[in-house]
Amino acid sequence: TQLLEQSPQFLSIQEGENLTVYCNSSSVFSSLQWYRQEPGEGPVLLVTVVTGGEVKKLKRLTFQFGDARKDSSLHITAAQPGDTGLYLCAGERVRGYQKVTFGTGTKLQVIP
């Protein structure tokens, strides 16, 4: 059973466009992370959100944790080819439990 569903699964856009990736669950998470994975590499952490309603910005990337801590979104403004990669959300069900559940992933391609 996949606890975290991401949408869309694939996204191909032109450079300069905006996009939003969603991470949804019926379960509550104590924290939620977003990773980016480039081909041939392991995932690299982008951000962690902890508080319901929290918004974090990382340059052109905006991350939001849902008020009920069941969902999250990643918005990219003016996408660049360097944003191309697989975006994964990962939720920690119980704080300090030291296991996270990864989402299904969103593969983003930004065309120059």
Partner 1 sequence: NAGVTQTPKFRVLKTGQSMTLLCAQDMNHEYMYWYRQDPGMGLRLIHYSVGEGTTAKGEVPDGYNVSRLKKQNFLLGLESAAPSQTSVYFCASSYGQAQNIQYFGAGTRLSVL
Of residues 48, 56, 62, 75, which one binds partner 1 by CB under 8 A?
48
Which of 79, 88, 108, 110 forms a contact with partner 1 (CB under 8 A)? 88
The answer to whether 90 touches 37, Cβ cutoff 8 Å, is: no
Two structure tokens written together for 32 = 């939620």
Using DSSP, state whether 65 is helix, strand or coil: strand
| Residue 112 makes contact with partner 1 by CB under 8 A | no
Looking at the Cβ atoms of 57 and 95, the one nearer to partner 1 is 95
Token pair of 91 as six digits: 């939720």
Among 40, 59, 82, 112, binds partner 1 (CB under 8 A): 40
Out of 12, 41, 67, 68, name the contact with partner 1 by CB under 8 A: 41
Opening angle at CA 56, ends 66 and 7, nearest 5: 50
